[in-house]
Amino acid sequence: MVITENISSDLVILRNEDLRVVKRRAQESNKAFALVLSRPDCPPCHVFLQRLDKNYEQFRGAIFNFIDVSLPENMWYQQWLFSGTTPTTCIFSPSGELQAVISGTVATAMQCIESSIVGRTQCADNFFGRQFSTTNGELLPMLNDMFWGKYNLERGNDISKYIDKWLPTAQYPFPFYLKYRNEKQQGRHNQALYWANRLVSITGSNQQFARVYSNLSTQANILINPNHAIDGATLSVIGELALGEFRFQESKPFSLTVTNTGRSPLSILHTEIGCSCLVILSDRQQTIQPGESRVMDFRFTADIRGDVLRNITFVSNGVNPVEVVAITAKVR
């Protein structure tokens, strides 16, 4: 449900509002608009709202749309930016040009947001893009084109003019995803297959790409091979493991059994552990044949008190490239 809060006549806050509505309101009122990527369980996101409420005069003439990126339909925003940081504020001019992408709520970030909204100019430091080798001056135009390319793709338009110029220097999977989707939508099947293969290749070559873009890679693989879900490898593992009670600083080993329930060899490309309290004792990379199981050994150390929740993430070539196991414990 969309909630509208009029903190003042010059500042509007929306929640999960349709982009078409936000864009139309911005154009009609000649106001800048900001998309704030947030989560319900993100304390800095609540701080952001409080600061808007307290200092609304700094942000007069703006529309803020808070987007809950924990919802499946909003996952693409973080894939667009290749960033999981929340809150992240994406500021657009009234005409829809991306002005800045700013992470966090520190004072300098809030000042950057203010200057981008009120002055409608890019601030000196947009606190974003460290994972890209391009400069901010090149990065923002690319992200702008990727954003409106996605917007127009969903409306059935040919988006070649948005994305083609960036493909020769693309540094992350999202442009390849848009390209193969566009080619498929326009009926250019062979080109769609080519770019789907490019997406699968670049995603599989980088552990972080494999984690962030796993669902996009799966979609591309199904285009390449409609029987991918049937013929591919499948990593099967328990979804949650309760380790029980621990004394503070106590350490215990535990194991997880990983099975390949698919028809092709399974390659575990990487095993990510969520904190220093977890140590993997087996090889992070494994190859498991169809029908085979492999026991992987770990150690947990109770380094904080209370209820503990940590994740172990398996990144593989499986039909579902990312599988997460929740590890829970109670520490006295």
Mean pLDDT (the chain) is 89
What distance in Å separates the CA atoms of residue 28 and residue 6, rounded to the nearest whole number?
17
pLDDT per position as a tens digit, 106-159: 888 888 888 888 765 566 555 676 677 766 678 889 999 999 999 999 999 999
Sheet containing 306-316: which strands, arranged edge to edge?
A: 240-246, 322-331, 306-316, 266-273, 286-288
DSSP secondary structure, 184-204, as one string: HHTT-HHHHHHHHHHHHHHHH
pLDDT per position as a tens digit, 221-244: 999 999 988 889 999 999 999 999
pLDDT per position as a tens digit, 284-331: 889 999 999 999 999 999 999 999 999 999 988 888 888 999 999 999
Q: What is the pTM of this model?
A: 0.80
What distance in Å separates the CA atoms of residue 35 and residue 28, rounded to the nearest whole number?
18
Tell which wins on pLDDT, 149 or 53. 149
pLDDT at site 1: 34
pLDDT at site 291: 96
Q: Which of 53, 55, 78 lies closest to 67 in space, CA to CA?
A: 78
Whether the CB-CB separation of 116 and 127 falls below 8 Å is answered with: no
Q: Which amino acid is at 31?
A: K
How is residue 42 annotated by DSSP? -
State how beta strands 306-316 and 322-331 pair: antiparallel
Mean pLDDT of 53-60: 74
State how beta strands 306-316 and 266-273 pair: antiparallel
**In the chain, which ranges are E strands?**
4-8, 11-15, 32-38, 62-68, 88-92, 98-103, 235-236, 240-246, 251-260, 266-273, 278-280, 286-288, 293-301, 306-316, 322-331
Range name among 1-5, 106-110, 227-231, 270-274 with the lowest pLDDT average: 1-5
pLDDT per position as a tens digit, 57-104: 777 778 999 999 989 899 999 999 998 889 999 999 988 999 889 988
